[in-house]
Amino acid sequence: MSGKNEVPVVYFVERGLYKARVNHLMKLAEKSKLVDYRKDFSSDVSHVIAQDLSRQQALEYLRKVKKVKQITDEESLQFVTVDWFVSCMKEKRIVTLTEGHRLKSDDALEVLEEHAMFRGDASAESRSLAFHRGSATLKCLPARISCEEDLRNLPHIDVGNSSKPGHCKRVILDILSYGQSSEVEEILRSDFYNSMKVFTGIFGVGPQTARKWFHDFKLRTLRDVKNSSSVHLNKDQRFGLEYYDDLNRPLPVGEARNFETLIRQYAEEIQPDIEITLVGGFRRGKPMGHDMDLLITHKEDGKEKILHKLLHKLQDRIIYSDKKAGSVNQPYSARPGSTMDHFEKCYGIFKIDTVKGDGSWTARRVDLIVVPYSQFAFALLGWSGSRHFEREIRRYAKSEKQMVLTSHGLYSSDGTSHPASSEEEIFDLLGLKYQKPCDRNC
Ligand code: 8DG
Ligand code: CA
Ligand code: CA
């Protein structure tokens, strides 16, 4: 857009969106007087609209799929989310762009971390961990890195005295010198990375299945998956595919808090002293999440079929639910190092009211976990994440204290259990300084 009051010229990136949704959006844009709409990308487009793609992926799509040779003024192009467009249509005005409306830029080290897990070869875990640690170091810095000197002595980046820089450092140095890392750009452009990203976005599909689809069945898109005769989807995956759009839409904390309140209300109707706690990323203060994790606990240790009764009250909202019976009396059998636990729980997809309060809903993933009161502090610590924090604190317990920490308890190597009634006590037992949930976002 060159002039101040010009009408935005919008273009939709179809990748990652269902055909029906794209058609619907295009029709809205065509009819609207607020925006001009281009079916084909042209040089006058001012707003590129996409969902669940980074800025680089949207650009890549234009170059590779749409064969756009030259994007004249990439800097002035706005890369925005479908949510921005929908808000404009609903409010019948051009909504001011906020950071939340812009497609995010890829974090180079996070791309490498993800790519290592997608490849899944023998060294995948250690490679991805190395990139994660490098990326976490950068995030903790008070200012942006501007020269090689800023990297000196940084943990997991400036490692060892070798004259050959480590992988993380090499990538950062490339970005400092050339504005980008050719290795990362190549990954972002690759069919493998882009297809794996889409496939692993389906609930119930992990890297292993996604790799099989990509390499053995030669699938590339969601449409390929749907039309493939080789793919046999299990129940999770069928729902995952059907609600792909909704389940991949970031979940705002307000929506999660509203649902937490509703669950608490239902729980109170069942029995007044049931406690409901929203955990996971939201407890760490994240404004957005991918699902809701709710702990349900009761002083009289779960004899009351709480989950069954709760799900009954929620029945109109259940799209899918997978109940797992618990075996909380043999918690020590938990595989060390694994975050999987033995609580009675339900992995579900529920219809959750949007924050608009107009009766509209979005399909969301919800984990409901029933925790015996005596194990609550451990479950709280275990389910608050982040996954990386959990891995590190469990590793620390094992290597420094010769103890096993799980979401059920803390145990010495002879199996003795060390009870705790708060997270603070667990940190204490481990000889660690207490870390608030908001400081566990590493
Ligand atoms: P997000 O949803 O905001 O994207 O992130 P998150 O809330 O940090 O991640 P999550 O995938 O929802 O996982 C939350 C925490 O739950 C994570 O640290 C691992 C932990 N967790 C357990 N036990 C189990 C389990 O049996 N299954 C799963 N899926 N997660 C578990 O402690
Ligand atoms: Ca979560
Ligand atoms: Ca979860």
**Helix H or strand E segment including 127:** helix 124-140
pLDDT confidence of 245, banded at 50, 70, 90?
A: confident
Q: How far is the CA of 387 from the centre of ligand 1 (A)?
A: 7
- Say whether pLDDT at 103 is over 50: yes
The separation between CA 133 and the C-alpha centre of its own chain, rounded to angstroms, equals 18
Tell me the per-residue pLDDT of 38-77, one tens digit each, with 9 for 90 and over: 999 998 999 999 987 888 888 888 887 788 887 766 677 8
Predicted confidence at residue 79, as pLDDT, reads: 95
Predicted confidence at residue 352, as pLDDT, reads: 95
Predicted confidence at residue 92, as pLDDT, reads: 95
Q: Which of 126, 149, 154 is closest to 138 using CA atoms?
A: 154
Q: What percent of the chain has pLDDT over 90?
A: 71
Structure-block tokens of residue 25: 């959006």
Average the pLDDT over 9-20 and give the result.
87
21 lines ligand 1 (CB under 6 A): no
Predicted confidence at residue 2, as pLDDT, reads: 43
- In angstroms, the Cα distances linking 315 to 195, 202, 219, 290, 311 are 35, 24, 36, 22, 6
Is the model's pTM score more than 0.85?
no
- Say whether pLDDT at 4 is over 50: no
Domains contained in the chain, CATH given: 4-101 (3.40.50.10190), 108-231 (1.10.150.110), 251-374 (3.30.460.10), 384-439 (3.30.210.10)
In 3-state terms, the chain is what percent helix, strand and coil (to 5)? Answer: 45, 15, 40
340 lines ligand 1 (CB under 6 A): yes
411 lines ligand 1 (CB under 6 A): no
Lowest mean pLDDT across 56-70, 316-330, 359-373? 56-70
User: Which residue would you say has higher pLDDT here, 255 or 160?
Assistant: 255
- Say whether pLDDT at 296 is over 70: yes
289 lines ligand 1 (CB under 6 A): yes
Q: Relative to the CA of 289, which ligand 1 atom is closest? A: 3
Q: Which of 50, 72, 74 is closest to 61 using CA atoms?
A: 50
Predicted confidence at residue 277, as pLDDT, reads: 98
Q: Relative to the CA of 340, which ligand 1 atom is closest? A: 26
- Say whether pLDDT at 302 is over 60: no
Average the pLDDT over 332-336 and give the result.
53
- Say whether pLDDT at 372 is over 80: yes
Q: How far is the CA of 316 from the centre of ligand 1 (A)?
A: 26
Q: What is the mean pLDDT of the chain?
A: 91
Region class of 118: left (phi > 0), else alpha (psi between -120 and 50), else beta: alpha
- In angstroms, the Cα distances linking 163 to 134, 146, 158 are 18, 21, 10
Average the pLDDT over 185-210 and give the result.
94
Q: At 50, phi and psi to the nearest 5?
A: -145, 170
Predicted confidence at residue 83, as pLDDT, reads: 92
Q: Using CA atoms, how far apart are residues 331 and 318, in angstroms rounded to an integer? A: 29
Q: Let me know how many helices (H) and strands (E) the chain has, helices first.
A: 18, 13
Predicted confidence at residue 15, as pLDDT, reads: 82
Predicted confidence at residue 428, as pLDDT, reads: 98
Predicted confidence at residue 1, as pLDDT, reads: 44
Bridge partners, residue 344, by sequence: 370
Q: How far is the CA of 366 from the centre of ligand 3 (A)?
A: 7
Q: Using CA atoms, how far apart are residues 9 and 199, in angstroms rounded to an integer? A: 31
Lowest mean pLDDT across 107-116, 154-163, 198-207, 221-230? 154-163
- Say whether pLDDT at 5 is over 70: no
Predicted confidence at residue 142, as pLDDT, reads: 85
What DSSP string runs through 228-277?
A: -SS----HHHHHHHHTHHHHTS-EEHHHHHHHHHHHHHHHHHH-TT-EEE
Q: At 10, phi and psi to the nearest 5?
A: -105, 150
Q: Which of 73-82, 248-257, 402-411 is predicted most confidently?
A: 402-411
Predicted confidence at residue 239, as pLDDT, reads: 98
Structural contact between residues 409 and 430, judged by C-beta atoms closer than 8 angstroms: no
Query: Is the N-terminal amide bond of 333 cis, ω within 30° of 0?
Result: no
Q: How far is the CA of 326 from the centre of ligand 2 (A)?
A: 20
- In angstroms, the Cα distances linking 332 to 366, 386, 401 are 26, 22, 17
Q: Using CA atoms, how far apart are residues 436 and 142, in angstroms rounded to an integer? A: 19
Tell me the per-residue pLDDT of 68-78, one tens digit each, with 9 for 90 and over: 887 766 677 89
Predicted confidence at residue 3, as pLDDT, reads: 43
Predicted confidence at residue 19, as pLDDT, reads: 80
Q: What is the distance in angstroms between the CA of the first residue and the CA of the last residue of the chain?
A: 39
User: Which residue would you say has higher pLDDT here, 345 or 303?
Assistant: 345
Average the pLDDT over 299-321 and give the result.
88
Average the pLDDT over 151-177 and give the result.
86
User: Which residue would you say has higher pLDDT here, 2 or 255?
Assistant: 255
Lowest mean pLDDT across 26-40, 66-80, 321-335? 321-335
Lowest mean pLDDT across 2-11, 293-302, 371-380? 2-11
DSSP H helical ranges for 17-121: 19-31, 55-64, 82-91, 108-119
What DSSP string runs through 326-378?
A: --TT-GGGSPTT------EEEEEEEEEE-TT-SS-EEEEEEEEEEEEGGGHHH
Q: What percent of the chain has pLDDT over 70?
A: 94
- Say whether pLDDT at 362 is over 90: yes
Residue whose tokens read 């060294």: 123
Within 127-234, strands assigned E span none
Average the pLDDT over 293-307 and give the result.
83
Region class of 160: left (phi > 0), else alpha (psi between -120 and 50), else beta: left
Bridge partners, residue 103, by sequence: none
Q: Relative to the CA of 347, which ligand 1 atom is closest? A: 29
Q: Using CA atoms, how far apart are residues 139 and 156, in angstroms rounded to an integer? A: 12
Structure-block tokens of residue 115: 């790519």
Q: How far is the CA of 286 from the centre of ligand 2 (A)?
A: 10
Predicted confidence at residue 85, as pLDDT, reads: 97
Q: Which of 243, 284, 269 is closest to 366 using CA atoms?
A: 243
Pairing of strands 251-252, 288-289: antiparallel
